Structure 1
Amino acid sequence: MLPPHLHERVEPGAPPPREGNAVIYWMRVAARAWENPALDVALHAARALEKPLCVYQCVATSGLVNDRQQTFVWEGVREVETALTARGIECVVEQRAEAFDASRFSKAALVVSDFSPVPSLRAEDDAAKAVAPLWRVDASCLIPVWKFTRAAGGLEEFLSWRAQQHFTVYPEEAFAPVTTRRGFELSDAVDHSVAPVHHTRGGSTCAVARWRSFSGNELSPLSAYLHYGHLSPFTVARETPRLGVLLEHRELAWNFCLHHARPSAFEALPEWARETLREHERDARSSLLSFEQLARAQTGDLVWDAIARQLLVHGEVSAPLRDVWLKALLPWSRTAAEAMSVAAELLGRYALDGNAPTTHAGIALAFGALEQPSPLETPFFGVVRSASTKELEKTLEVGEFERRAHRPSRGSPLTVAVIGAGVAGAAAARTLVDAGHVVTLFDRGRAAGGRLATRAEGPLRFDTGAPYFTVRDERFARWARAWWQERVLAQWKGVIEGEVREEASDLVKLVGVPSMDVVVKRLLLGLDVRFGVDVNSLTRDGSRWRLMNSEGASLGEYEVAVVATQPARASELVDPSSYELASRIREVEMAPRWAVMAHFGEGLGLPWDGLISTVGPLSWLAKNSSKPERPLLGGESWVLHASAEWSRAHLEDAKEDVAAVLMDALWATTGARSQAPVFLDAHRWKSGLTEKPLGVSCLWDASLQLAVCGDWCLGSRVEEAFLSGTAAGARINALPGGELPSQEAPRRPEFQLELL
């Protein structure tokens, strides 16, 4: 059925076709319509079986996928869809938010898939094999991967073996550039906190253009194109002989992944490496860094942070720098297993080739795989070859590299004003700064907080906003885990009376320590925030936004504006420029909420730490002093929240009267013996609770370059405020730019010679 150059690329022992309605080519890591062995195998099989051929592409939209990866994939999908349609080949593209469902192949006569040895795709292969005959085809390596034998001795052994292999050179096929007119819309279910890389667009047309203009001696700028199959390795090897040895290195990575179920995990290391790394786990670490500190280049190591910034903004780590950069994680981690796990998460999240075999194998190689023990034993590494970022200072123009790494992938940075420094505003600002933009935040309050506001009265602290929050969405969970590691968060184990026992109530109740507002302060770390500034006017003047305060003084001009306030305030600011956006905001229904803060010299003697009440004026009572790391001053501090109905009826009452009424309700509701508080005050939230959310993650007007966000877009929870803010930031990060920066790392001349 198949000619020799295709037959040797099909996995040996492939099952025979069966009766079915079509041949399906399941396109995943060879997303191109030229020099594609998997596509050619599917075409031959369809002709031989006299069945129609359908090319199936699936774009994942789960919370673990981000804007960067999805944009790159979609650009490739749309181009190959156009090219296949021009050849008369049916192409089906599907978005998938849930786990892969192989049942769609149940009626196929044969499923042909391009193979990759990474764990996630191999798991999908196993699911497909259970419902249909599956032919896995190697469309990515020069020598078919099925010929590979385990290379435990490293590169020299692999190259020696490779030189003895005989294989059919894949026939040359000319590439024809494709103009894709059909666009795509990013799913709102993905992680919006990672921006697209504008200078590295997906698709074979951009891949071939990048390759033909490429003058470097490393594959990093081409790695994502090779990983997703937008660029043919056969063309690269045929027309660029100087890159041949690098393609051989790439095939070594494929070989390594083929023979390890979890190639970037600690278990993939040789026994001697695992043993020596375990022995040095007891070496004293000066600091253990969280995922956020690493991801956002906040380690304090100038060279490491510059490389991390390149990854954060531009989606790659140059190959000559990656090994040293990965090794530097070990002294900042408890164990080598933890360091490798963090490395996989960092590269998997931010690198365009984060799930490539070269990435998985590269992590293992940095920690001793395919190497021999070093004669020199060093702290943390034992006899695994160590390295330091100080070595890179000799070969890297650090200042210039850092400057390029900070420059946005779109070219020039945007100037952005964010009005409101609560959770949503802070998340939007952080998402934009991570992409290299210049952001200024304005908040009329005295300090950060918003939904997580904390009132300070001398040594007393009262969490007048959310008493705690829970985490349900993985897009927010990864940051919550980092804050937990930094001890910004802790679990509140308080007993809540009246809590309905359901799945939501079983979630861990998280609180900021020593107060709720530290979570927002952590998000705002290093950002330009101006508190006590009331933005009274937001007007569009040509191509820029002009901000004015209540006294008519200018607060500056900005290209983009983000309004992250409560809806009533947001509609006032937006209305003069966009009646349409203001009308949408006015659809939101909010409820007011009175909050009373009281500190008692003696405990109230209640058997619980929080109460949910459905009768009387109170709806929620919380013993603030029962939360972890609150000041130990003697007595108890309480925060009382009135119900929405009572608050609405008494919205304009004097706060002294409100405090007196709610104190009486405290004694009546709990039965506790009344006592005069040492401290008593009340705070009015005009928009304390969302009764009818907008139902979308944020609002965005591309023509005005204006975004509006807040928890009220999705609900009332802290997590929803965070997701709304990152969604607003994503709309801005998607804006294309002009001049795009070069991504070749500036190196001293002797380093270029070393590469050659």
Structure 2
Amino acid sequence: MDHSLPTHLDERLRWLVRPDQTRHGPGEFVLYWMHNALRGHDNPALDVAICLARQNGLPLLVYHALSEDYPYASDRFHSFMLQGHRDVQRELTDRGIQSNFHLQRDGARGPHLRDLTRRAAVLVTEEMPVQPLVGWMQRLTVRTTTPIAMVDASCIVPVPLVGHAYANANEYRDATEHFYHQRVGVPYADQPLDVDLFDGSMPFPAFDLQDACLTSLIRKCRVDHSVAPVIDTPGGSRAGYARWDEFKANGLADYSKRRSNAADHRGSSRISSYLHFGMVSPFRIAREADRAGAQDYLDELLVWREMAFHYCFHHPDAIDSLDGIPVWAKETLLQHVDDDRQKSCSWETLSRANTGQPLWDTCQQSLLKHGELHHSARMTWGKLLLPWVPTPGRALQLAIDLNHRYALDGGDPSSYGGILWCFGQFDQPVEPESKVFGRVRAADPDHAEANLNLAQFQQIVDRPITPLAPRIAIVGAGMAGLTAGRTLHDYGLDVTVFEKSDKVGGRIATVKAVADADAKSDRDGKTSIEGLHPALSFDHGAQYFTARDSRFCRYVQSWIQDGFVQPWLGRMVELGLGGKVIAEKMDTGRYVGVPGMDQVAKHLAADLNVRLETNVVDLLRRGDSQWALVDAAGETHGEFDYVIVNATPVQSSALMSGHSAMATQIAACDMKPTWALMIQTDGLKSLDFDAAFINDGPLSWIARDSAKPGRMNFGQPDGGDTSGTEAWVLHASNLWSMAHIDDHPEMVTDELLAALQQVTGLAPGNVVHALACCWRDAVPVDPIDRECLWDAAARLGACGDWCGGPRIEGAFLSGVSIAGEVLRHLTIDRRAT
């Protein structure tokens, strides 16, 4: 293969797999995979591909795609990148280049990059020395034999010209000054398109983004819907250059004076996210800054940004751990690992900006709501994690997680550079040593606040994520409704939750005698109470929850750290005929709320506006776009711009009827009932398991509720000796419950106690207390194969465990999903109109 190139392109090329290192065949085309240079101009990678196609007489194939499998994949990044892909698709078309775009989503997944690479004579792509790109390229070299050319399209001084990483800005500046002097002001000349374009078969259909509904596309992608798009930072070259031009006209001349002030929203260019994805050309930015004589801006753009890029290039496997900082910094931080910390903050406390430290929380709110953080504020933000978490390694992990999850430039080498600086990289050791930080430069939030107009900074951060300032009503305070409310509330939206019961949680329920002794019925069914003592409580709904999806797992781990969730490690078995143990059921991690399952719901509802004992029975349309809610007492609540319903299918369908076609779809979702029996007894102590799944007979589940973590040991209430008793929860099978749905609770109690004796071989003994409850809508027969339902035109949504899956995890993800629908409607759709 002929691969001679013009000098300005050749200096940017690095062969990951050289043509002379492989026996790969001639190939059908030259493949250009575009991922971090989403522009059709000033693009060395595109130009290398054109040159190689020209020299070898092959057609050119331009492929760009958006995967679901990158770290921290979310609505925020997907919307930003889809807008970028749409712009570059249009720009390439204007140049006469057909691009082939693929979006990974439901019904459209496959190893297309691998398959196209195998067909290509050579693969050309951009250099990006961070994960997941490094890992993807490594796997591609194993799975194909195609020559692979990496091209630096991000740096003015390309990585092949700099032989090693620099850990000091002055050293890097001195070593590269002559390179920059030769390149900064040189105009970039795009290669002429004088090659054929490949028009053969493709493994996916052509996808035109120009008129596509991005909201609908993102809905089909398996990404985190809780991280909302940023309405005032749209993706794409047009938006990126518009921001740059505005800064060039109104901020660049004063950059030296204003750049360190995080409270000055116009003091920095705010184009780092556009540079990360290559939507704007660093060559053009540098040329224009050079013409303006903005030397301080050039120093930031070229020296600090590109020094971080070169550092990541030489240490791609180290930058996500303490191995990515200097030896002296790592050693001193570890020497102080046993120092007393100020506090211990969980991931959720940090991500929701609830530490109580005003400056840090404002910084985190900037990341959460607006996807950006001023570079000077990031210094204090990153360093303050060290005294708030147990180890420096964990502090670095959290800094990377929070930055990369929310910042639109997260994952960029420059972003890594800013984070690693907080832990000593690109800095010098200081004396004397300080607590926790050792010889790493410490953070002083009081000093930082003294040099910052915090009130002005907070005012900038508190700007609404959308100018509409909508009011949102949520009907039902179950897991899905509370999760939706909590997600929307964190973005500063006005949310009101209406719940017909006197407590939140729905089936994440814990019955407490002192609260429920006079109740005639529980949320969805009937109860029979026989003198429960005031300290008694049972988890009579959901018995535990599992965590499989990463979007849920991170919350569960955080809740464990905060102490209101614990793993349930009791022995669980499967019982067959005659109560014989036929299998151990310890292969799945199970978790419970502490001291009751309802604690999870209470946590989610903690800072929400929840109106209990308000049974919403009707929705009234007000004007073209607002809703009023009517309760069972005839009182009207509202008006609201959006309504989310988290109720049973029967209740949800009734509320939606006449307002949305969703009502028919919801009504088709059938639910099965479950009778629950709660007893306190002394007759089951000899059972050597704590819970059992039962295959036959009236019962489907029994559990020693008092053996769950954080439960109370019974004492001697009211002078009666109940020591030695245990709390047990029994669930009847759905089939039996359906057959006995209208039975009196006392009859249910008798039959289920008899079934308990039959399945265990033990008499229940002295049943001190008993409580029977029927959950009429407990388990969906056939859950709707979507995480939520949404009617954008009506501004109505529905969620619950009958969407996507019947578990608590499914309800959580359903709540996140419907919140995502509202957030996308407020950001992407509103921006489009």
Q: Is the shorter-chain TM-score for this pair beyond 0.5, marking a shared fold? A: yes
- Contact residue 78 and residue 183 of structure 1 kept, 8 A: no
In the alignment, the residues of structure 1 paired with residue 461 and residue 700 of structure 2 have an alpha-carbon distance, to the nearest angstrom, of 50
101, 107, 116: which one aligns with 1:104? 116
295, 298, 306: which one aligns with 1:244? 298
- Residue 354 of structure 1 aligns with an amino acid whose one-letter code is G
Q: How does 1:570-585 map to 2 (within 5 A)?
A: 570-578=652-660, 580-585=661-666
- How far off is 1:434 after superposition? 2.2
- Contact residue 323 and residue 362 of structure 1 kept, 8 A: yes
- Residue 143 of structure 1 aligns with an amino acid whose one-letter code is V
- SS across alignment from 1:728: helix
- SS across alignment from 1:465: coil
Query: More deviation in 162-171 or 527-536?
Result: 162-171
Residue 35 (structure 1) aligns with: 42
For the pair 1:478 / 2:508, whether they are aligned, the reply is: no
Quick one: percent identity of the two aligned structures? 38
In the alignment, the residues of structure 2 paired with residue 736 and residue 508 of structure 1 have an alpha-carbon distance, to the nearest angstrom, of 37
In the alignment, the residues of structure 2 paired with residue 239 and residue 23 of structure 1 have an alpha-carbon distance, to the nearest angstrom, of 33
- Contact residue 244 and residue 269 of structure 2 kept, 8 A: no
In the alignment, the residues of structure 2 paired with residue 90 and residue 480 of structure 1 have an alpha-carbon distance, to the nearest angstrom, of 46
118, 123, 132: which one aligns with 2:135? 123
In the alignment, the residues of structure 1 paired with residue 209 and residue 761 of structure 2 have an alpha-carbon distance, to the nearest angstrom, of 74
Structure 1: unaligned runs, 5 residues or longer: 742-756
For the pair 1:134 / 2:134, whether they are aligned, the reply is: no
- Residue 577 of structure 1 aligns with an amino acid whose one-letter code is H
60, 64, 82: which one aligns with 1:53? 60
- SS across alignment from 2:55: helix
- How far off is 1:279 after superposition? 1.1
In the alignment, the residues of structure 2 paired with residue 674 and residue 114 of structure 1 have an alpha-carbon distance, to the nearest angstrom, of 70
Give TM-score, length-normalised by structure 2: 0.85
Distance of aligned partners of 1:692 and 1:510 in 2 relative to their CA distance in 1, 3 Å threshold: same
In the alignment, the residues of structure 2 paired with residue 730 and residue 576 of structure 1 have an alpha-carbon distance, to the nearest angstrom, of 25
In the alignment, the residues of structure 2 paired with residue 407 and residue 532 of structure 1 have an alpha-carbon distance, to the nearest angstrom, of 34
What per-residue deviation string (whole Å, max 9, x for no partner) do you get for residues 82-137 of structure 1?
22233232322223478976343112101000111113211222223342111100
517, 530, 542: which one aligns with 2:598? 517
Residue 403 (structure 1) aligns with: 459
In the alignment, the residues of structure 2 paired with residue 685 and residue 437 of structure 1 have an alpha-carbon distance, to the nearest angstrom, of 33
- SS across alignment from 1:334: coil
223, 227, 237: which one aligns with 2:272? 223
- Contact residue 220 and residue 319 of structure 1 kept, 8 A: no
787, 793, 797: which one aligns with 1:703? 793
In the alignment, the residues of structure 2 paired with residue 504 and residue 641 of structure 1 have an alpha-carbon distance, to the nearest angstrom, of 17
Distance of aligned partners of 1:402 and 1:656 in 2 relative to their CA distance in 1, 3 Å threshold: farther
- SS across alignment from 2:702: strand
In the alignment, the residues of structure 2 paired with residue 679 and residue 180 of structure 1 have an alpha-carbon distance, to the nearest angstrom, of 66
- SS across alignment from 2:61: strand
- How far off is 1:485 after superposition? 1.4
494, 498, 509: which one aligns with 2:574? 498
In the alignment, the residues of structure 1 paired with residue 612 and residue 189 of structure 2 have an alpha-carbon distance, to the nearest angstrom, of 62
Residue 630 (structure 1) aligns with: 711
For the pair 1:11 / 2:41, whether they are aligned, the reply is: no
- How far off is 1:503 after superposition? 12
- Residue 333 of structure 2 aligns with an amino acid whose one-letter code is L
What per-residue deviation string (whole Å, max 9, x for no partner) do you get for residues 476-526 of structure 1?
111111111112211111222217999996121111111111112222221
In the alignment, the residues of structure 1 paired with residue 583 and residue 48 of structure 2 have an alpha-carbon distance, to the nearest angstrom, of 52
Residue 209 (structure 1) aligns with: 242
- How far off is 1:13 after superposition? 7.8
What per-residue deviation string (whole Å, max 9, x for no partner) do you get for residues 60-97 of structure 1?
11484111111111111122112223323232222347
507, 518, 540: which one aligns with 1:464? 540
- Contact residue 116 and residue 122 of structure 1 kept, 8 A: yes
Residue 745 (structure 1) aligns with: none
Number of residues of Structure 1 aligned to a counterpart in Structure 2:
738
Residue 751 (structure 1) aligns with: none
339, 351, 357: which one aligns with 1:295? 351
Residue 566 (structure 1) aligns with: 648
Distance of aligned partners of 1:188 and 1:125 in 2 relative to their CA distance in 1, 3 Å threshold: closer
- How far off is 1:660 after superposition? 2.0
460, 473, 487: which one aligns with 1:431? 487
- Residue 187 of structure 2 aligns with an amino acid whose one-letter code is P
In the alignment, the residues of structure 1 paired with residue 269 and residue 685 of structure 2 have an alpha-carbon distance, to the nearest angstrom, of 64
808, 811, 815: which one aligns with 1:718? 808
Residue 211 (structure 2) aligns with: 181
- SS across alignment from 1:150: coil
In the alignment, the residues of structure 1 paired with residue 657 and residue 754 of structure 2 have an alpha-carbon distance, to the nearest angstrom, of 42
For the pair 1:452 / 2:512, whether they are aligned, the reply is: no
Residue 754 (structure 1) aligns with: none
For the pair 1:342 / 2:354, whether they are aligned, the reply is: no
- How far off is 1:356 after superposition? 0.4
715, 729, 735: which one aligns with 2:819? 729
What per-residue deviation string (whole Å, max 9, x for no partner) do you get for residues 160-179 of structure 1?
112132654553469xxx99
- Residue 424 of structure 1 aligns with an amino acid whose one-letter code is A
- Residue 10 of structure 2 aligns with an amino acid whose one-letter code is H
763, 775, 783: which one aligns with 1:673? 763
- SS across alignment from 1:476: helix
What per-residue deviation string (whole Å, max 9, x for no partner) do you get for residues 535-592 of structure 1?
12112212111011111112221100100111111111111312x1110001211101
- Contact residue 264 and residue 364 of structure 1 kept, 8 A: no
- SS across alignment from 1:660: helix
Give TM-score, length-normalised by structure 1: 0.94
In the alignment, the residues of structure 1 paired with residue 84 and residue 440 of structure 2 have an alpha-carbon distance, to the nearest angstrom, of 40
- Contact residue 202 and residue 225 of structure 1 kept, 8 A: yes
- SS across alignment from 1:240: helix
Query: More deviation in 494-503 or 624-633?
Result: 494-503
Residue 747 (structure 1) aligns with: none
- Residue 235 of structure 2 aligns with an amino acid whose one-letter code is G
- SS across alignment from 2:805: coil
- How far off is 1:14 after superposition? 6.3
- Residue 305 of structure 2 aligns with an amino acid whose one-letter code is R
In the alignment, the residues of structure 2 paired with residue 453 and residue 474 of structure 1 have an alpha-carbon distance, to the nearest angstrom, of 25
- How far off is 1:264 after superposition? 3.6
Q: How does 1:614-693 map to 2 (within 5 A)?
A: 614-633=695-714, 634=723, 635-693=725-783
- SS across alignment from 1:678: strand
In the alignment, the residues of structure 2 paired with residue 95 and residue 179 of structure 1 have an alpha-carbon distance, to the nearest angstrom, of 10
Residue 488 (structure 1) aligns with: 564
Residue 187 (structure 2) aligns with: 171
- Contact residue 696 and residue 713 of structure 1 kept, 8 A: yes
Query: More deviation in 213-222 or 564-573?
Result: 213-222
In the alignment, the residues of structure 1 paired with residue 655 and residue 136 of structure 2 have an alpha-carbon distance, to the nearest angstrom, of 49
In the alignment, the residues of structure 1 paired with residue 829 and residue 655 of structure 2 have an alpha-carbon distance, to the nearest angstrom, of 33
In the alignment, the residues of structure 1 paired with residue 402 and residue 269 of structure 2 have an alpha-carbon distance, to the nearest angstrom, of 16
- How far off is 1:607 after superposition? 1.7
- Residue 735 of structure 1 aligns with an amino acid whose one-letter code is H
- Contact residue 422 and residue 451 of structure 1 kept, 8 A: yes
- Residue 509 of structure 1 aligns with an amino acid whose one-letter code is R
Residue 744 (structure 1) aligns with: none
- Residue 561 of structure 1 aligns with an amino acid whose one-letter code is V
- Contact residue 539 and residue 577 of structure 1 kept, 8 A: no
- SS across alignment from 1:653: coil
Structure 2: unaligned runs, 5 residues or longer: 191-207, 260-267, 514-533, 576-580, 715-722
In the alignment, the residues of structure 2 paired with residue 366 and residue 329 of structure 1 have an alpha-carbon distance, to the nearest angstrom, of 10
- Contact residue 68 and residue 194 of structure 1 kept, 8 A: yes
In the alignment, the residues of structure 2 paired with residue 566 and residue 13 of structure 1 have an alpha-carbon distance, to the nearest angstrom, of 56
528, 533, 538: which one aligns with 2:614? 533
Query: More deviation in 429-438 or 726-735?
Result: 429-438
Residue 171 (structure 2) aligns with: 157
- SS across alignment from 1:164: helix
In the alignment, the residues of structure 1 paired with residue 475 and residue 65 of structure 2 have an alpha-carbon distance, to the nearest angstrom, of 38
- How far off is 1:425 after superposition? 0.4
In the alignment, the residues of structure 2 paired with residue 677 and residue 126 of structure 1 have an alpha-carbon distance, to the nearest angstrom, of 64
